[in-house]
Chains A and B, each alone.
With several copies, the nearest count.
Chain A
Amino acid sequence: MGFEKFGRKSYTAQTKVAEFVDRLAQGEICATRCRSCGRIYFPPRADCSFCLGDAMEWVKIPETGKLASFTRVYYAPAGFEADVPYTLALVNFGDVKVFGRLSSAVEESTIKIGMDLKPIVLEMPDGQITYEFIPVEECGR
């Protein structure tokens, strides 16, 4: 249990990597690394498809990444109607890529593939917890 708190609307409660949500609540966005072969996985997983090992450790993803692609969504699937428009994004952090949303505060015209982004944790009014990406400039660096 625990994973039902992830995202606007979760479809899974049980997973061996539910600790992701606890770490998220502490402000950390983590991948998992296989203790046997060293491979790093995002989305995090409990099992290594390369060496078939199941000993994993949590590792924080890098501070900043680059926007790989995005889209501004104006028409939402059932359950997400209240959020439109919102921007989906894929961000490349080097070892891993991360899928999520870009902060709704970012103007669409300022979004450029390759721009530097930083993930932040977002707690929603209904208790759901997620992350989103914000431009590096805006976080005061």
Chain B
Amino acid sequence: MPKDVAIIGVGQSAFSRKYSGSVREMVFEAFAEAVRDAGITPKDIDASLVCSAPEYDKQRSPAGLIAEYLGLNPQPTFVLENICASGTSGVRVAYSLIKAGLHDIVAVIGFQKMSEISSAESQERMGRGADIMWEAPFGTMMPAYYAMHAQVHFARYNTTEEDLALIRVKASKYGAINDRAVFRKELTVEQCLSAGVVSSPLKVYDCCANADGASCLILANAARAKEASSQPVWILGLGAASATMNLTGRQFLDGLQVTRLAARQAYRMAGLSPRDVDVAEVHDCFTIAELMAYEDLGFAEPGRGKELIREGQTYIGGKIPVNVDGGLLSKGHPIGATGGSQVRTIVLQLRGEAGPMQVPGAEVGLVQNIGGVGIYSNVIILGR
């Protein structure tokens, strides 16, 4: 189990429907929190990565602007993009820059400000995150793609709309106690089932909300981590994979092959197995995505993810608590900020600082972050 690179500071802005300032100001909130958390100053940071998807706001090449605003010149900085998986790709690259010896301390900054355009416009942009020649011309969007996965899962395994509703109910319970979440109401199964259909079988509450938000992680090599932090959280395992952008190239739709591959790599690197994981953050952009993650990450056999949620095993106190911060469904999904927020949650859990969301005694945590509809997947295993 390698202990070469650690996370020594985490920060996150409140996720909101409509942030009232500029991108740079929103990012500053997450950054200042992470730097204070790490007990360092901006000058200690040797490089920064900015994780974000373009075309939601007007600033191009945000790395340069953000490095200026955060006082991170003249250190190197660049933009990394894997749509919704950008933040954890940032962790992978920051790990590499440090392990390769190029830098000692690297900041991974994620942000998205989605409220400057309409919801239909943002769906159009998400549609152009699929193949613009062969899929977008039909009017594709994220809920539709995930709905097509749900249809196959339903048909093959008798998963039901109630199972998906149970996942949203869990998310809403934890969202209600997370003061950084955008959606703070508790929902019932009935409310979820009676909501309008977005793309069958997915209904309004099966879908996460667009949000504005920022996150920041500070990574350091072993020497600097031990010096700066009393509780470094180590990167034990990393996995990453890609799939064809076109659905026509996928072997199956009742799970995500990218997550299976990324998880296998991460478990192998960490020398751990699914049952060693005490708490997990998975990419629940839609309820079906969380259900597939249970199976793809090995928490349940294929087709048996529904039993985990039916039995309440993914709540705190269950076999494998998942998204006990509300997940993307309740926290909100500011694309570039999402991966960093997931990692932050696990870091706080492993430090025992997760407050009302704490999983008692958590020692090993896992993050799974997806870009697009199973185009990219990153799996990260963290430990004390």
Contact = CB atoms under 8 A, between A and B. Distances in A.
B137 A113 contact: no
B114 interface: no
Contacts of A68: 152, 253
A106 interface: no
A99 B137 CA distance: 11
A46 B24 CA distance: 9
Contact of B198 (A43, A50, A70, A75): A75
A71 B200 contact: yes
B124 A77 contact: yes
Contacts, number: 157
Given A11-B132, A45-B69, A88 B144 contact: yes
B139 A14 contact: no
Contact of A88 (B69, B133, B148, B197): B148
Interface residues of A, number: 48
A37 to B, nearest CB: 12
Contact of A9 (B116, B134, B137): B137
Given A43-B246, A88-B144, A78 B137 contact: no
Given A7-B138, A75-B143, A15 B120 contact: no
Of residues A14, A68, A96, which shows the largest number of chain B Cβ atoms within 10 Å of its Cβ? A14
A12 B65 CA distance: 14
Interface of A: 3, 6-16, 42-43, 45-47, 49-50, 52, 54, 68-81, 83, 86, 88, 90, 96-101, 108, 113, 130
Interface of B: 19-22, 24-25, 28, 32, 35-36, 42, 57-59, 69-71, 116, 118, 120-121, 123-124, 126-128, 131-141, 143-144, 147-152, 155, 196-202, 246-249, 253
21 contacts: A6-B133, A9-B136, A10-B133, A11-B132, A13-B116, A14-B20, A15-B21, A15-B22, A45-B69, A47-B28, A49-B70, A49-B71, A54-B28, A54-B32, A68-B152, A74-B197, A78-B120, A79-B124, A90-B148, A99-B247, A99-B248
